[in-house]
Amino acid sequence: MSEFRQLTGPAIDLGQMLTAREQRVVNQTRLLKKYPEATLLCGTMRIPGPIKTGPKLKGLVQQFCETIQKQYKDKLVDQLIKLEAITGPEFYFVLNIAPKQIKQEMVCFEQGNPLGAIWDLDVLYWESEQLVQVSRIALGAPRRTCLVCGQDAKNCSRSRQHGLLEVQLKIEQIIEEGWDARW
């Protein structure tokens, strides 16, 4: 149990996180091999540190998944939703939508929703027998910003500009302030 109000799940170790990442690639590959003409929307949360879960996070992911199911019901081909993973909730939606279109819509969501900052919404497709990810840069969208200071997230992460506790407290704040303002 953690000292936080929102990040209340079990602590995980690096091995568990790496295994979860490998399994995500397996799931992505399996789904896109099965539906090679489709686009895959894969979502997780941007939560550093050993605690990746909590009831509100699970609720947020569940609500987001319901929104995707409703918004894209005519384009939805398949799905895999894992709300109970100790490494954090994750989901996969196979959609009959152009990859750049869905990525643009997800970038708009990330930028326009109070909780968008903590989502990691990847869009992938299958080409030449491999996974291809649509980047924000390919769309001309700005890079992700740091949750704490608003600068380039990758630069802050690489340089460890902010301590883990500072980032976790910011995530707590984002969840608490965004909970009532959800989509």
Q: How confident is the model at residue 181 (pLDDT cuts 50, 70, 90)?
A: low
Give the lowest-confidence range in 20-29, 55-64, 171-180.
Answer: 171-180
The predicted pLDDT at position 1 comes to 42
Q: How confident is the model at residue 103 (pLDDT cuts 50, 70, 90)?
A: very high
Question: What is the edge-to-edge ordering of all strands in the sheet holding 119-127?
Answer: 76-82, 90-95, 39-45, 119-127, 130-133
The predicted pLDDT at position 182 comes to 56
Q: What is the percentage of the chain residues whose pLDDT exceeds 90? A: 61
Place of tokens 């883990």: 164
Asked if residue 51 lies in contact with residue 4, where contact means CB atoms within 8 angstroms, the answer is: yes
The predicted pLDDT at position 4 comes to 81
Asked if residue 87 lies in contact with residue 7, where contact means CB atoms within 8 angstroms, the answer is: no
- For residues 108-133, average pLDDT: 92
CB atoms inside a 10 Å sphere around CB 115:
21
| Closest by Cα among 90, 95, 53 to 73 | 95
Q: What is the pTM of this model?
A: 0.90
pLDDT digits (tens, 9 = 90+) for 124-177: 999 999 999 999 988 998 888 898 998 988 899 889 899 999 999 999 888 888
